[in-house]
Structure 1
Amino acid sequence: MTRFREIIGEYESRYKVLRGVASDLEVYLKSYLTGVQRVDRVAARAKSPERFAAKATKVYEDGSERYPNPFTEIQDQIGARITVFYLSDVAKVEAAIRKYFKFIEVKSKAPLSDYEFGYFGLHFIICMPDDLIPDDSEEIVPEFFELQIKTLFQHAWSEAHHDLGYKSIRGLMPEERRKIAFTAAQAWGADEMFDELAKSLVNDNEPIP
């Protein structure tokens, strides 16, 4: 508990700066996506002090710290999300991000088994643009930020699933886990159907800006 209090105290002293950088990052991302159609929303946020401290104090089964140096090791202190209408729109946004930003990692997240349904999304770890870092805050602003690109259905499912995980009064029963998997399958199917319809019904030949 002592380490938790120390970390949350230090992070709270940085939080105002990180919130300002996140606000500027949101505007920055939007400027590079102006010509990309069917982007529903672009948002950026600084991780809250409580969630940062909770993540920073996680330990492995043997009791060792997952993040001995959390202020440099945790890469989603500032996170951004771009939500798009259809699956094929993810590729268009990805192309714009690859064109304009430097990144160190990109992962397409999906369940390990083809027979499973759950979280889907495209994640980037991107170098923080220099012109977003205030001159007196180089030691506070993290080197990287996390960017997630998701469809509306992927976003809706993951938000609901995340909320259940954080606010559940107990662990999920087997029947409840099956219900979660069932809703994930429905979201996946809706994405597939709408993307097929969009490809046949929507005239979409706009270039990447």
Structure 2
Amino acid sequence: MDFPSYYSQNIAKLDALTKIAHGLVENLIRQNNIDTLAITSRTKTLASCLSKIENKSYRSPISQITDLVGIRVIVYFEHQIEIASSIIRDLFDIDEKNSFDQSKKLGSDRLGYRSNHFICKLGRSRKALKEYKDIYDISFEVQIRTILQHAWAELAHDRSYKLSSGLPSEIQRDVNLYAGLLEISDKAFSRIVREIDLYAEKLDSIDIQNEEINSLSLIKFVKNSADKYDLHNVRVRDQGSFDEVVQEVKNFGISNIGELSSLIDDGFLAMERAQSNDNEFGFIRNLLMWSDLPKYLTSSWNAHWTAIDVTSFNLLKKKFRNARSLFRGKDIDIEDYDLLDNDTEEDD
């Protein structure tokens, strides 16, 4: 049977395999909490297959083309490749002879396109399942690469850039140099992320009172405080940029978690418990304002937020009688203004 005939007779099976293999990979990657930029899949077009057959001079293309179905997993960091690769090995039957680690294929003295390629089958263990019985023995490819590896691969394989062609020696040296920089950056980012994870784990096992003010120590502080004082309305989302809050705390004159923790008193806890809900940003800002509202607005506030809820305002006003004037001076709105307590306020 010629290849075009084989392709036309099996395209429905190939499309079904693409959908099923993609779903299996995506589900297991998600279940193992591996962050990805993208998980994509495709069934190779007939035109692409014929071009590959011609370029590779395949004599038995039906058996030699193993990527009629392809899945690509793009992770953020290099150390995630090993984790994702282990998942793929457990999930499918692997053709070790035709699978490879591109970095090992390149050798220790060469730079460039790198990723893990696995030639897989769903496997005989799935043959008994109705939806798999016609596709369990068809080979497909799973590629796993980082964002930077993906960027290099796209450039190297784009004919308009010709980065993978034999280039003049001076240009080739530059290509090798920048490919090396990408590889170094890939490894460096992976190492930094692992160091961050180790630091976060360390915070779980030590007294954090002497820890410097940073995003991780502040998140841990809020979590610990919410648990210690039964503040069930405080939800730590651990999302978004913490740079602004870190700077606000430092500008307030706080250098470690112990100093910040010492600001918590019964009045502040009453203020937090009055909130219907709060997050880590609101918790820390409320603590600084409760400690010294004039100081916070003068030294820490930086216009990144411009409104305060009426509940917090009413409680702050009991401690700082000129609170309304202070907020008005910064053009900070009071939400639900009509619900303000009717206590008179002393002006500055």
Tell me the TM-score range normalised by the shorter chain: 0.7 to 0.9
In the aligned structure 1, how far is the partner of 2:190 from the partner of 2:182?
Answer: 12
How many residue pairs align between the two structures? Answer: 189
Q: Partner of 2:35 in structure 1?
A: 38
Q: Partner of 1:173 in structure 2?
A: 167
In the aligned structure 2, how far is the partner of 1:163 from the partner of 1:25?
Answer: 27
Residue identity matched to 1:115: D
Alpha-carbon offset, residue 16 of structure 1: 4.8
Q: Alpha-carbon deviations, 1:134-179, whole Å to 9, x = none?
A: 66x55xx8621111111111111101111137x75xx653144334
What residue ranges of structure 2 are gaps of 5+ in the alignment? 202-348
In the aligned structure 2, how far is the partner of 1:57 from the partner of 1:124?
Answer: 23
1:160 and 2:155 matched: yes
Greater helix share, 1 or 2? 2
Q: CA distance change for structure 1 residues 160 and 16 in 2, over 3 Å: closer, same or farther?
A: farther
Q: Alpha-carbon deviations, 1:84-118, whole Å to 9, x = none?
A: 11111111111211222211214211264423211
1:99 and 2:87 matched: no
Larger Rg: 2
Equivalent position SS for 1:37: coil
- Tell me which of 96, 102, 113 is aligned to 1:109: 102
In the aligned structure 1, how far is the partner of 2:12 from the partner of 2:158?
Answer: 25
TM-score by length of 1: 0.76
In the aligned structure 1, how far is the partner of 2:87 from the partner of 2:132?
Answer: 25
Alignment of 1:1-209 (within 5 A): 7-8=3-4, 10-12=6-8, 14-34=10-30, 35-58=32-55, 66-105=57-96, 106-110=99-103, 112-129=106-123, 130=127, 143-164=138-159, 168=162, 172-174=166-168, 175-202=170-197
Q: CA distance change for structure 1 residues 187 and 8 in 2, over 3 Å: closer, same or farther?
A: farther
Alpha-carbon offset, residue 15 of structure 1: 3.5
CA contact (8 A) 2:6 2:62 kept: no
TM-score by length of 2: 0.48
Q: CA distance change for structure 1 residues 25 and 186 in 2, over 3 Å: closer, same or farther?
A: same
Aligned residues: CA RMSD: 2.9
CA contact (8 A) 1:26 1:43 kept: yes
CA contact (8 A) 1:71 1:142 kept: no
- Greater relative contact order (Cα < 8 A, sep 6+): 1
Residue identity matched to 1:120: R
Equivalent position SS for 1:120: coil
Percent identity of paired positions between Structure 1 and Structure 2:
21
Q: Alpha-carbon deviations, 1:14-55, whole Å to 9, x = none?
A: 445423421232112111112232222211111121221111
